């Protein structure tokens, strides 16, 4: 996408991120799995599954990023659990675009289990075997420390997937610490769709939030306790 196209799709997505609570300001601090609390929360679970208009737009945004990379053959894998919604959305958008005459290829996806399969004939994290001719896209909804991505990548490596065959797309990045850590994991590329700090500024500029929220974000970034769901 050129910059004009990016701005057009973002102008539709950003208000919905606020309206549906994908990026939300909570009245009470939310406890984090890794310790600490935050009032700024990012989630793409029911916030998108209950609002398919936003889910479709996010899927389109991700699909265009993948198509623009011009890899010969693509497969999407969502980081459990919230990233799975995004991977499926991008795949479904690619089917819809193809049915409407688009020249872009259909994007298929694999499901990465949060718990290894313990029944049947294959005891793996992912069904099937990795394909050396396929480029894989790991899709994460949000990052703070990058722990969820690292955990997913380790599971994939256990199943025989190679990190150099992966690119990583992060819908919302909360701080640079995660990117620094993930850049050492061997990804071919790491693409951030939105920085949390930029979304906060957009929400303030559009009158969704008051300026005091900027201070909440700055405090969270200093202590690295912005929620990761």
Q: Residue 223's pLDDT band (boundaries 50, 70, 90)?
A: low
Answer yes or no: is pLDDT of 178 > 90: no
Mean pLDDT of the region 74-102: 97
pLDDT at position 35, please?
52
pLDDT tens digits, residue range 89-106? 999 999 999 999 999 999
Burial class (CB in 10 A: 0-12, 13-18, 19+), 50: exposed
Tell me if 138 sits within 8 A of 186, measured CB to CB.
no
**Across the chain, what does the average pLDDT equal?**
92
107-146: pLDDT as tens digits = 999 999 999 978 877 789 998 789 999 999 999 999 888 9
Q: Could you tell me the pLDDT band of residue 31, with boundaries at 50, 70 and 90?
A: low
Domains contained in the chain, CATH given: 3-223 (3.40.50.2020)
Torsion angle, CA of 218/193/189/154, rounded to 10 degrees? 70
**Per-residue pLDDT averaged across 7-30, rounded?**
94
Q: Is 161 exposed, middle or buried (0-12, 13-18, 19+ CB in 10 A)?
A: buried
The residue-averaged pLDDT of 223-227 equals 51
Chain centroid to CA 104: how far?
Answer: 21
Q: What pLDDT, on a 0 to 100 scale, did the predictor assign at position 225?
A: 46
Beta bridge mates, 149: none
Contact 63, 103 (CB under 8 A): no
Q: Is the pLDDT of residue 220 over 90?
A: no
Model pTM? 0.93
């Amino acid at each position: 996408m050129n910059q004009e196209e990016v701005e057009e799709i973002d102008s539709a997505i950003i208000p919905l991120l606020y309206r549906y609570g994908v990026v939300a300001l909570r009245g009470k601090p939310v406890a984090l799995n890794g310790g600490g609390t935050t009032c700024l929360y990012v989630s793409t679970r029911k916030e998108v599954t209950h609002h398919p208009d936003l889910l479709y737009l996010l899927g389109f945004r991700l699909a265009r990023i993948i198509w623009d990379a011009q890899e010969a053959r693509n497969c999407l894998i969502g980081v459990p659990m919230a990233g799975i919604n995004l991977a499926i959305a991008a795949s479904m958008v690619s089917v819809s675009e193809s049915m409407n005459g688009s020249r872009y290829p259909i994007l298929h996806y694999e499901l990465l289990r949060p718990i290894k399969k313990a029944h049947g004939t294959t005891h793996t994290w992912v069904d099937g075997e990795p394909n050396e001719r396929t480029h894989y896209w790991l899709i994460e909804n949000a990052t703070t420390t990058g722990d969820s991505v690292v955990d997913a990548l380790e599971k994939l490596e256990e199943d025989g997937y190679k990190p150099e065959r992966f690119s990583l797309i992060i819908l919302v990045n909360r701080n640079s610490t995660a990117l620094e850590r993930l850049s050492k994991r061997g990804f071919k590329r790491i693409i951030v769709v939105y920085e949390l700090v930029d979304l906060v500024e957009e929400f303030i500029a559009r009158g969704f939030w008051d300026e005091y929220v900027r201070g909440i974000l700055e405090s969270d970034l200093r202590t690295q306790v912005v929620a990761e769901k």
